[in-house]
A and B are shown apart, each in its own frame.
Chain A
């Protein structure tokens, strides 16, 4: 499904991605872990087209992503959740979700209100992420945890084929983390999920396979059990992550 070869991204003299290879088959849940500055968010930004790749190739299914803009990639079903919330602050939670659903049919319906089916779908998505009773609240008035839930709702409402989750549980309470992890675990198995996460409990619970990035390179890849036992991964990252 997602096929990335020799992906490079330089910022001036700094090589943020130094030739990353990543092959994620359809329906797999792949976690990408690594210390801060390993290149995880840069990887997401390059895959979604918000940053141009310096070199390398990316495919989503049969589609070559390189020449496509961000919105064209989103139309292929490549949808992301941001690490820092990117919401429509003055709009209510339900209007945020309606914008996401509306993007599927397109914006050019000047004389048309969102259809009843879209409203019903928005209600369902808000229910799934646990915001059903907060639907009318402006995004800016939601708590941090709720904003993360809404951020996830926006991504899900876009009906993704491949979902990129950038630290979905960052800054959440244990109860909120549990809710989101359960929700992600319960997502349709046809959906390909790429997840960046620092909470190792969440990673080991959700991931089918794990890729470890360090200084812009893949230093290890395998099942959760294999990664847990990897000496090098322990040295650069896991040791610290688990102790912390």
Chain B
């Protein structure tokens, strides 16, 4: 346990505690409920962006199909709860993780054979196929109408139906996912993913089966995106083909790049920036255009994202 480790842990505990208790200490504020809703959504998309970051930032795999696992998880959670007639979190969240991971296994098996731009196009095409299925399997998914009336989960009999309770659940899951990613990033496995990103040829020459390594990252990232998808289904009580669509994949990618690929905090900040622009900005302003301008600014002036810009500022 070094000092910098303790400082980081203390920051995480402080920020998380402040976030988790936000509805209480902000109760007097008239927009408290609205703000809590935004924070929930930021956290959900932070999980999604962080899972994509495992591919884009760590393993160097630029996937444009990550929504397939987000939406796949969302549908799985909604459908499992309905079919099994239970609101137990274990059932719906478990279904989301399993379905997203299996989907990632199949799509990843094909995608990791390609590199660079071909990987990007292949993930895009495969995710479009998932989108087509979601759109057309009306019986199962509700087709273009979406799947409405998703129940909020129950954990061992405790109901998370109230917005404040859902808030706590989202905070807890986000913390858990964050800790898992933190551990992965500092592990031999995380280091190996960075090795694949930096020099795959050398990794093979050292005896790493890089194709399986990339596939494992793809499945892990898919499973975590499935978690985000399930939370999104609880949050909006609604799943639609939009959740599987290219737009959602791109949104995740933009969050990762704005925040800073390959860092743990970056995707969280990226999710906060993107959702703030989309949901908080006055409605007279064209949110998508503002987002576009912000994104271009980052690509041109701060390739390393927010985290990279802050690091540079601290060093200078």
A interface with B by C-beta (< 8 Å): 48, 50, 69-71, 74-75, 79-80, 82, 86-91, 95, 98-100, 102-105, 107-114, 154, 158
Contacts and interface: CB of A to CB of B under 8 A. Distances in A.
B113 interface: no
Contacts of B195: 88, 91, 99
A154 B191 contact: no
17 contacts: A50-B205, A71-B208, A75-B207, A86-B201, A88-B199, A91-B195, A91-B198, A95-B191, A99-B191, A99-B195, A103-B203, A103-B206, A107-B189, A110-B220, A111-B184, A154-B202, A154-B206
B177 interface: no
A80 B207 CA distance: 11
A82 B195 CA distance: 16
Given A86-B199, A91-B198, A99-B203, 16 more contacts: A71-B206, A71-B207, A86-B201, A87-B199, A88-B194, A88-B202, A89-B199, A100-B206, A102-B192, A103-B203, A105-B188, A107-B189, A109-B189, A110-B189, A154-B206, A158-B206
B189 A86 contact: no
A86 B202 CA distance: 6
A80 to B, nearest CB: 6
A80 B199 contact: no
Contact of B204 (A69, A95, A102, A107): A69
A66 B215 CA distance: 25
B207 A108 contact: no
A104 B192 CA distance: 12
Interface in B213-233: 213, 216, 220
What interface size band does chain B fall in? Answer: 20 to 34
Closest 8 CB pairs of A and B: A74-B207, A107-B192, A110-B189, A86-B202, A103-B206, A88-B198, A70-B204, A103-B207
A50 B201 contact: yes
Interface of B: 183-184, 186-192, 194-195, 198-199, 201-210, 213, 216, 220
A110 B191 contact: no
Contacts of B216: 108
Contacts of B210: 71
Q: Is the interface of B mostly helix, strand, loop or mixed?
A: helix
Contacts of A82: 202, 205
A62 to B, nearest CB: 19
Contacts of B220: 110
Contacts of A98: 188, 191
A114 B188 contact: yes
A111 B187 contact: yes
Given A50-B201, A110-B184, A103 B208 contact: yes
Contact of A71 (B183, B186, B204): B204
Contacts of A91: 194-195, 198
Nearest to B189: A110
A219 B202 CA distance: 32
A86 B220 CA distance: 28
A27 B6 CA distance: 49
A145 to B, nearest CB: 19
A23 to B, nearest CB: 24
A79 B208 CA distance: 12
Contacts of A104: 207
Given A88-B199, A99-B195, A108-B216, A70 B188 contact: no
B187 A110 contact: yes
A48 B198 contact: no
A91 B191 CA distance: 9
B183 A111 contact: yes
A159 to B, nearest CB: 10
A82 B202 CA distance: 9
